[in-house]
Amino acid sequence: MRIYQLARKLNLSNQELLKVLSQLKIKGKTSVSGLSAQEIKRVEGKLVKKKPSPKEKGLIARTPVVTLLGHVDHGKTSLLDAVRKTNVAGGEVGGITQKIGASEVECKGKKIVFIDTPGHEAFTNMRAHGAQVTDIAVLVVAGDDGVMPQTIEAINHARAAKVPIMVAINKIDKAETKLKRVREQLSKYDLVPEKWGGETIFVEVSALKGQGLDEFLEMILLEAEMLELKAEPEGDFQGVVIEGELDRQRGPCITLLVQKGTLEIGDILVGGSTYGRVRTLINWKGETIKKAGPSMPVRVLGLSDVSMPGDTFRKAKNEKEARQIAESIKEKEREKGLIKRDVFTLESLSQPEEEQKTMNIIVKVDTQGSLRAISDTIKNLESEEVKIDILHAAVGEVQKSDILLASASQAIIINFNTVASSANRDLAKEEGVNIRNYQVIYAMIDDIKKMREGLIEPRYEEKEVGEAQVREIFSIPKAGKIAGSYVSQGKMTRGSKVKVFRGEEVIGEGVIGSLKRFNRNASEVLTGLECGINIDGFSNIEKGDLIKAYESRRVE
Ligand code: GDP
């Protein structure tokens, strides 16, 4: 069973389950890793007290939201169209004149919502702008072409978002289609079909001929069932923008995907700097409706402005409150010079609540030959305290999708010997993404080490640096007791921490406040010399005591 599946079953977040695994010393797992039956038993044993089940909190099952990802021309749009034509929720669609950004289909009485814009760029763009709506990513792979660069990109984007992946091998009507080859290729990316002992659902379809569509939908429902998706229709409302446009006649139109609660006509909404009273609600078939519950895509009219995909909307008590919230957000945006976020700092990369910190990295290199070597070098820089996750590694210059992925996942882009276009450099700046350019591997290693160290709390260790025997005590008014001492080992330094030993026992601690050689101040006195030592914080020193000096040294 996959980690995310077990997490859902146990009603934990993936992060919570990963924490339990690290407590059980089950290492090297991510949300998509599989767990053996024995490991699952250990986890369940550890979790004596489960969290309350969703039912107890008044949640109901909700419709899964699906996005199709994959290489260009592998048939994402065709598959979506085919499914929409044959399995429209509530019967005939009767010529949809206006797409709203998502559609609902029905299979065996259950609904599935498909996001209309396929591809990982739109998917990650939404994440980069604050939200994620997709529950299941369907990776569409053309059976004749097999795994292509954007297939790999799509896998990595879905994984970075921790969204489960299902595979649809398309174009099975084509003579060139080689199913086994595609399965083998995908297995290399840890997408192993169930019949080969893996845990990924594979379906075979032809969007063109309409083959395999029922099974395709059934499998989505099966995956959704395992995810146990829930929502609270009566709770606070939350909806995420999946599309927005300015209609000449109707004014700003946005499509919200309802995540929590229920939206009704007359509600006051606010999201970012946009607000307004809901005038009209339209479903994906173009019908006006009165309310929309969880997982439903709905077009909303009546807002003050068009919003960006990924913006989150909530309800406000009244228009005045909505306007105030929107105005204050607008003001903040102005102050920031419209830059969404500060450029990532090392601090922002660290997650203080976790024991092991994670550095997310995207690697772009100039040649296929160096891709592996550089990725391996980076991975080898992982330490016990800092885990390095390479979210995506590919040949070629930094693309928009890389920047969006970095933005959405708080990752750094390591760019080796390629040049990003100025438009993409600007986008990186806007998104607050750090692109680091290198020509030589040593510079890259040094830099990553520095970044890694920046994530670690420095650890110090006390090291003994000298010993002095106390031979005489002088009491001097104002200055207190001065220990006339002989440095028998190492050195005594002003400001050093010291411990005073009487025999085996430590009788006091302090700091060397003053250090003198023949009445002259000294900063350091070395072995074989005599000196006068006054210890701040300890005055009970006697002839025959031993002063040991220590230095705190940073442990590498
Ligand atoms: P997208 O870029 O992934 O959205 O791909 P499209 O849906 O635009 O499809 C790309 C091309 O593949 C189009 O010419 C489709 O007609 C063709 N195509 C899509 N699905 C199939 C299929 O199942 N069989 C065949 N033979 N062609 C298909």
413-428 pLDDT, tens digit each:
999 998 889 999 999 9
Handedness of CA 199, 120, 339, 322 (dihedral sign): negative
Domain-ending residue, one of 336, 365, 393:
336
Indicate whether 288 and 414 sit together in one domain. no
Domains held by the chain: number: 5
Indicate whether 184 and 125 sit together in one domain. yes
Q: Considering the domain boundaries, does residue 351 fall inside one? A: no
Question: Whose CA is closest to atom 9 on ligand 1?
Answer: 75
How, if at all, do strands 357-365 and 386-395 pair? parallel
Indicate whether 310 and 204 sit together in one domain. no
Q: Considering the domain boundaries, does residue 245 fall inside one? A: no
Indicate whether 184 and 70 sit together in one domain. yes
Domain-ending residue, one of 280, 302, 336:
336
Give me the CATH number covering residue 279: 2.40.30.10
Indicate whether 463 and 449 sit together in one domain. no
Question: Using a 6 Å cutoff on CB, does residue 171 contact ligand 1?
Answer: yes
Question: Whose CA is closest to atom 18 on ligand 1?
Answer: 75
Indicate whether 448 and 468 sit together in one domain. no
Give me the CATH number covering residue 375: 3.40.50.10050
Indicate whether 299 and 378 sit together in one domain. no
67, 69, 78, best to mutate for ligand 1 pocket (most atoms within 8 Å of CB): 78
What pLDDT is stored for residue 10 in this prediction?
A: 79
DSSP-based three-state secondary structure for 165: strand
Q: DSSP secondary structure string, 16-82?
A: HHHHHHHHTT--S--TT-B--HHHHHHHHHH--SPPPPGGGGT-EE---EEEEEESTTSSHHHHHHH
The CA 119 to ligand 1 mean position distance, Å, reads 14
73, 80, 216, best to mutate for ligand 1 pocket (most atoms within 8 Å of CB): 73
Strand order in the sheet with 411-416: 386-395, 357-365, 411-416, 435-438
8-state DSSP, 342: P
Phi, psi (deg, nearest 5) at residue 177: -65, 130
Q: Considering the domain boundaries, does residue 349 fall inside one? A: no
393-409 pLDDT tens trace: 999 999 999 999 999 98
Q: Considering the domain boundaries, does residue 428 fall inside one? A: yes
Q: Considering the domain boundaries, does residue 188 fall inside one? A: yes
Indicate whether 191 and 211 sit together in one domain. yes
Q: Which domain holds residue 269?
A: 250-336
Which pTM was predicted?
Answer: 0.69
Helix (H) or strand (E) holding 405: helix 400-409
Question: Using a 6 Å cutoff on CB, does residue 452 contact ligand 1?
Answer: no
Q: Find how far residue 358's CA is from the centre of its chain.
A: 9
The CA 225 to ligand 1 mean position distance, Å, reads 29
Burial of 330 (0-12, 13-18, 19+ CB in 10 A): middle
Q: Considering the domain boundaries, does residue 37 fall inside one? A: yes
Indicate whether 170 and 66 sit together in one domain. yes
The CA 73 to ligand 1 mean position distance, Å, reads 6
- With a cut of 50, which residues of the chain have pLDDT below it? 50, 90-92, 97, 337-354
Q: CA 150 to CA 397: how far, in whole Å?
A: 14
Q: DSSP secondary structure string, 411-450?
A: EEEEEES----HHHHHHHHHHT--EEEESSHHHHHHHHHH
Indicate whether 22 and 118 sit together in one domain. no
Question: Using a 6 Å cutoff on CB, does residue 211 contact ligand 1?
Answer: no
Q: Are residues 19 and 10 in contact, defined by beta-carbon separation less than 8 angstroms?
A: no
Q: Considering the domain boundaries, does residue 131 fall inside one? A: yes
Question: Whose CA is closest to atom 11 on ligand 1?
Answer: 73
Q: Considering the domain boundaries, does residue 343 fall inside one? A: no
Give me the CATH number covering residue 176: 3.40.50.300
Indicate whether 76 and 40 sit together in one domain. no
Indicate whether 34 and 177 sit together in one domain. no
Q: CA 134 to CA 123: how far, in whole Å?
A: 8
The CA 397 to ligand 1 mean position distance, Å, reads 27
Domain-ending residue, one of 453, 482, 505:
453
The CA 208 to ligand 1 mean position distance, Å, reads 7
Question: Using a 6 Å cutoff on CB, does residue 177 contact ligand 1?
Answer: no
